[in-house]
Amino acid sequence: MIQRIQTLLLLAVVLFSGLMLSGDLIRLTAGNGTVFSMSFLGLGEEGGEIIQRLWPMTAILAVVPLLALVAVFLYRKRTLQMRITMMVLLLSLGTIILGAFYLLMFDRKIDVTIIWRIRALFPLISAILAWLAYRAILKDEIRVRSYDRLR
């Protein structure tokens, strides 16, 4: 199980998406000097309370590492593993789109300057790793089907 490249790729997805569950994803600075941060829990003032909960983003950020971890242990059911990996890929891309939507909506309300954090790239890295894992699982499935034809 661990020697398969897709297992290592899916474990990397678990790691990167798990790291997004702690800390700030993006910091925003308003014109009056107020610093806001977008994190797993929602949008809030720096060191203060949460101003707005971002439930869809919170749910996606919590589901992605769980699905990737489940996909690691489905190595005997490759078709189901491929479907779950594709869901992880789509949810990671959804995180990027949803985060951009929230940033645009907040920027419309208050004129802010975005301070990018390295964790803002983690959904993109997770999506790329999930795509590579999907391709590796597909190659394994094609190889197994070709061996079945030879019998």
Full-model pTM: 0.87
Give pLDDT < 50 ranges for the chain.
none
Looking at residue 150, what is its pLDDT?
62
CA distance 78 to 75: 6
CA angle 10, 41, 15 (to 5 degrees): 15
Domain ranges of the chain: 5-150
Looking at residue 85, what is its pLDDT?
95
**Check whether domain 5-150 has CATH 1.20.140.150, yes or no:** yes
